[in-house]
Chains A and B, each alone.
Chain A
Amino acid sequence: ETGVTQTPRHLVMGMTNKKSLKCEQHLGHNAMYWYKQSAKKPLELMFVYNFKEQTENNSVPSRFSPECPNSSHLFLHLHTLQPEDSALYLCASSQERTRANEQFFGPGTRLTVL
C-alpha cells in the first residue's frame, strides 16, 4: 500500500449505529487530519493530530470522536449520527514543521446516514 488509504470506502448506517472509519498513511508523516466534504461547500477541517496529539478540534459535535494511536493511523468513531452528517470523509497527512505544507489525501469514505 502506498500513500493514504481509507476504509471502508462506502458506509451506510442508521442513526443509532456505532461505526468507525479508518485511515492509514504510508508516507512517514507526523500530522494527520479529518475533513468533511459536502456538495458545494468548502472542505471542512474537523480534526488535526500532530505527533499523535490533537491540536485542532474545529467545533465538531461530540458524536464524532477521533483517535490517533500512532502517527500512521487515524480513526473516526461515529455514534448517533444525523442524516445531515452524510458526506465524504477525507483523511489527509503531512510532514509537519517543514515549509512544504503539502497535505496528501486519501480517497475518502462515502458515508450515508439513514
Chain B
Amino acid sequence: QQQVKQSPQSLIVQKGGISIINCAYENTAFDYFPWYQQFPGKGPALLIAIRPDVSEKKEGRFTISFNKSAKQFSLHIMDSQPGDSATYFCAASMGGGNKLTFGTGTQLKVEL
C-alpha cells in the first residue's frame, strides 16, 4: 500500500511559469514532509521541508503548501527556470524517525 501519492507523473512548464506538484498521504502520524530534487546522474537532494505546525513555507522561488485536514501538501515553483528541470520527490516520515516514505516522483521540464 503506497502511503504517499504524488501527481502528476510528468509536467512541462514554460519558462517563467508556475510549476505545481501535489502529494497526498494517508498516515496521520506523519509529521515531517520534505521535497527532494534529483538531477540526472545525481542522488536526490533536499530542497525544502515542512512540519504540520505551519501551513506554508517559502524558500526563494520554492513554496510548500500544507493542508493538514485534507492530508495533502504541494510544491510550488515560481518563475520556473530551465535549470529547475529535474525529478521531484515528496516524502514523509513520523516521530522524528529516519524512515522516509517517498512518492513516485514528478519529472519536470521547463521549456524556453
Q: Using a CB–CB distance below 8 Å, which chain A residues touch chain B?
A: 4, 31, 33, 40-43, 45, 48, 50, 56, 90, 92, 94, 96-97, 99, 101-108
Contacts and interface: CB of A to CB of B under 8 A. Distances in A.
B43 A107 contact: yes
Interface stretch (B61-69, B70-78, B92-100): B92-100
24 contacts: A31-B98, A40-B9, A40-B104, A42-B4, A42-B89, A42-B101, A42-B102, A42-B105, A43-B89, A45-B100, A48-B99, A90-B44, A92-B43, A99-B96, A101-B34, A101-B93, A101-B96, A101-B98, A102-B49, A103-B98, A106-B43, A107-B41, A107-B42, A107-B43
Given A101-B32, A101-B34, A43 B102 contact: yes
A42 B101 CA distance: 8
Contacts of A50: 98
Interface of B: 2, 4, 9, 32, 34, 36, 41-46, 49, 89, 93, 96, 98-105
A105 B98 CA distance: 13
B101 A101 contact: no
Contacts, number: 56
B51 to A, nearest CB: 9
Nearest to B39: A107
Contacts of A40: 9, 104-105
